[in-house]
Amino acid sequence: MALPELNAQSTYSLDLDQPLPPVRRGHLDLGGESVTGESVSVNNQYIELNGEPWIPVVGEIHFSRYPAEYWSEAIRKMKAGGINLIATYVFWSMHERAEGDFDWEGDLNLRRFLELCAANDVRAIVRMGPFCHGEVRNGGIPDWIYGRPVEIRSNDPGYLFYADRLYSQIAQQLDGLLFKDGGPVVGVQLENEYQHSAAPWEWTYPGAPRELTVADRDVDVTHYQITAGGPKNKFADEGRDHMATLKKIARSHGIDVPIYTATGWGNAAIVENGSIPVTAGYAYPFWAPPAPSDFYLFKDIRLNPDYPPISYEADLYPSIPAELGAGISLTYKRRTTVLPSSLAPLIVRTLGSGANGIGYYMYHGGSNPVIDGHFFNEQSGGLPRINYDYQAPIGEYGEMRLHHRELKLLHLLLDNWGDQLAPMPPLLPEPNAAIEPSDVDTLRWAVRTDGRCGFLFLHNFQDHVENRDLTSLRLELEGKNDEKIAFPNDGTFTLAKDASGVLPFNLQLADLTLRTATAQPLTVLRNGDETHTVFITVDGMQPELVFEGKHAFETEDGSTAKRRGEVTVVSGAPDKSFRFRLGNQHFLVVPRELALSLVHADASKLVFADADGFPAPEGLELRTVGKSSIRLRVYPETAVSQLRSSRGVVESRSGQKNGFADWQVKFEAVEPPVEVRRIGDRRLALSVSEGQLQTDDIWLQLPYIGDRVAAFIGGELVADHFYFGQPWDIGLRKFADRLADEEMIFVFHPVHPDVSYLLDLPESVQAEIKERGKPLLRIEDPAAQSEYRTRLTFGQ
């Protein structure tokens, strides 16, 4: 394939008139009905919920790695991001620390966590193990099993006895909470990466060869982490039999759910015709050298999954990713940074390649528990003792990050149009197959369509390279009966570096046909007999919406509507919101920058704020850090006439509103009652000067250059951080009770010039360390900021 010349027009084309693959049903031992009348079924292309195609958006949080008192809030934050299915691990080693003695209390209370999922109207999938990994000690296998005469992760009767007892205990936690009983648990995962991956046993010594948590039979086919390729598995039949055995054990204890999953990458064994083989994609792994990945290249991901080879017949199952790396762990030897800008393009590529589900590992970070003085991190793998922040969209202390906001925009699209998208197979331009990961000059794109209408997926991102704007682009689709569909309608467009988008064509909007749009659909609102269809801009593109037919749109906010032949083209400025309407059909296009401040979307309104937001009982909770006011805007302005705030003073903002109601909430400023003093060159001491935290939370930022930091209270390690080029942000509310009486001591360590992770640090830091030729530790002045929260209710 000849690469397009830079700054010359590059026209890409695709024929949409292709045969549709048949939907096959009834061949999988999956699906079920609820006592409430709901149903779930699985065909070879997608999942159906209550008879309609459904694209699950799965976010992982580990209940045992987050304080139980904040579980409800965490679930609501995930829901605010568009997560409709929460996944969580059951780490066996934490619950059965002593043989036969199970602990399901406090932060280990699985049942309570699932009850809160139900209370917040979010479905759940429980990853039961027995083996989990998750960077936990022994991958979740209890220490005491090492000394038992059993072959773990096999059909050894002794091991199956323990697995049976574990599943029996989990079944008691799930009793009455399964989908069939009207509960939130729609699925379970059996095992994890079986016959593909394992964790190191912690029964080891420095310098000793790594011994993995795997049956002796499978040592030669097992990796430490997710890997493509590998030797042929001559024990594949035994692997399938073990997975089928685990499913039988689960069902024998009443764990009967519509969806069973099993990790399907890298020859991992699944339950044939009885589990969905879920997939993964990590562009920034800590277990491999940094290099451009192929996770940003479009392909038919169902028939050609990532991390091949696979052990199953791909055409029998839908493509449902479970572990798209929304972040990554830091290890002592590697400090990989996941760029927040990398996530939206990854999801656009994955959906455009034909995936009918999205799953994030992790979506919400946490902290490894310390129980009875024992750490449960994977110490032999060099993982932090406590920190499992994972650079996730929601962090270890509950902070909601940029990629939480960016991904939400795609999730809203799926919530509104996923039932239309799911049955549409991917169509790939032939030249796509020749694109290499290092090629940053060729547009990456694909189409999903039923032959007439559909969605165009495109992005301009590649990991581990320098991306640049793509200019003078034009896309031409040819439909049935020689129908011509062009993006844009006339001329060319630019796709900015790192940008991505999902663009519709022949999308039916009530009685209007949207022929094309160079803006991404977001949602549809309904207020009485009015509908409001909302779009967001794509970086670099001039937003235009092309409608079939000649229409007399009423335009506002600088937008224009022009008739061109048999279509009407509406356009506006890419950096400002603009509106237009035809009768009771209203349209709003908002710039991406404003869209990233979206904190709430329901059937009738959108709420934008310069704060974080998530649903609360009978309202919306907003939080801001270091700023004692919040500006919020509501669209449409007719949706809300009154705003009440549980805290602060509400003021209506006057001036030009452009269809938005505009308010400000002001709080009384509170100085954080925190003092930090230096103790020598390597230590800081933090104390709460007033004896208690007076605000909702205090956020402490520790900017430094070094190797790591450990935080202690009363001589006990309570938090830690590996340096990877960014400051450490700590939420102190988790430690409030202890900080009332004791100081928190931070111990810093210098970075040495010969460390293996130097290649992962910012280039400026690498250069400084190399120039010094000796250890470096620089501790900047810490900054403490108060958090302000309020609960809003809206009225007419």
CATH number at 755 reads: 2.60.40
Closest CA to 513 of 485, 538, 488: 485
Closest CA to 507 of 530, 494, 524: 524
Question: Count of domains in the chain?
Answer: 4
| Residue 605 forms part of a structural domain | yes
Integer Cα distance of 318 and 169 in angstroms: 31
Task: Report the run of H or E that residue 95 belongs to, with start and end.
Answer: helix 92-95
Tell me which residue range forms the domain holding 711. Answer: 674-787
Closest CA to 475 of 500, 458, 496, 451: 458
Strand, coil or helix: what is 114? helix
Q: What is the largest CA-CA distance in the chain?
A: 80
Distances (CA, A) of 32 to 56, 182, 648: 16, 12, 48
Same domain for 172 and 317: yes
E strand spans, 285-348:
321-325
Same domain for 250 and 109: yes
The reported pLDDT for the residue numbered 4 is 43
Task: Report the run of H or E that residue 771 belongs to, with start and end.
Answer: helix 763-772
Strand, coil or helix: what is 505? strand
Closest CA to 499 of 474, 533, 462: 462
Residue 700's Cβ-side half-sphere holds a number of Cα atoms within 13 Å equal to 25
Structure tokens, 717: 């390690």
| Residue 335 forms part of a structural domain | yes
The reported pLDDT for the residue numbered 617 is 87
Residue 624's Cβ-side half-sphere holds a number of Cα atoms within 13 Å equal to 21
Integer Cα distance of 190 and 167 in angstroms: 10
The reported pLDDT for the residue numbered 631 is 96
Same domain for 519 and 503: yes
Integer Cα distance of 56 and 258 in angstroms: 14
DSSP state of 144: G
Q: Which of the listed residues 372, 396, 420 is the one where a domain comes to its end?
A: 420
| Residue 427 forms part of a structural domain | no
Same domain for 312 and 369: yes
Q: Which of the listed residues 396, 420, 444 is the one where a domain comes to its end?
A: 420
Q: Which of the listed residues 544, 562, 595 is the one where a domain comes to its end?
A: 595
Helices (H) and strands (E) in the chain, counts: 10, 51
The reported pLDDT for the residue numbered 702 is 98
Same domain for 566 and 605: no
Q: Which H, E and C letters describe 590-650, residue by residue?
A: ECHHHHCCEEEECCCCEEEECCEEEEECCEEEEEEECCCEEEEEEECHHHCCEEEECCCEE
- Name the stretches of the chain with pLDDT < 50: 1-6
Whether the Cβ atoms of residue 226 and residue 267 lie closer than 8 Å to each other: no
Whether the Cβ atoms of residue 394 and residue 79 lie closer than 8 Å to each other: no
| Residue 184 forms part of a structural domain | yes
Q: Give the predicted TM-score (pTM) of the model.
A: 0.97
Same domain for 638 and 525: no
| Residue 618 forms part of a structural domain | yes
- Per-residue model confidence as pLDDT tens digits over 737-787: 999 889 999 999 999 999 999 999 999 999 999 999 999 999 999 999 999
The residue written with tokens 């060099």 in the block is 382
Integer Cα distance of 696 and 623 in angstroms: 9
Same domain for 679 and 666: no
Same domain for 465 and 345: no
The reported pLDDT for the residue numbered 108 is 98
The reported pLDDT for the residue numbered 38 is 98
- Per-residue model confidence as pLDDT tens digits over 515-533: 999 999 999 999 889 999 9
Same domain for 366 and 246: yes
- Per-residue model confidence as pLDDT tens digits over 662-719: 999 999 999 999 999 999 999 999 999 865 555 689 999 999 999 999 999 999 999 9
Same domain for 723 and 643: no
Same domain for 663 and 537: no
Integer Cα distance of 107 and 95 in angstroms: 11
Whether the Cβ atoms of residue 273 and residue 27 lie closer than 8 Å to each other: yes
CATH number of the domain enclosing 493:
2.102.20.10
Same domain for 117 and 68: yes
Integer Cα distance of 702 and 704 in angstroms: 6
Determine the angle formed by the axes of helices 157-174 and 110-119, rounding to 10 degrees: 40
| Residue 428 forms part of a structural domain | no
Residue 441: count of CB within 10 angstroms of its CB: 12
Distances (CA, A) of 53 to 122, 276, 414, 427: 18, 16, 11, 19
| Residue 133 forms part of a structural domain | yes
Structure tokens, 664: 């400000």
The reported pLDDT for the residue numbered 653 is 85
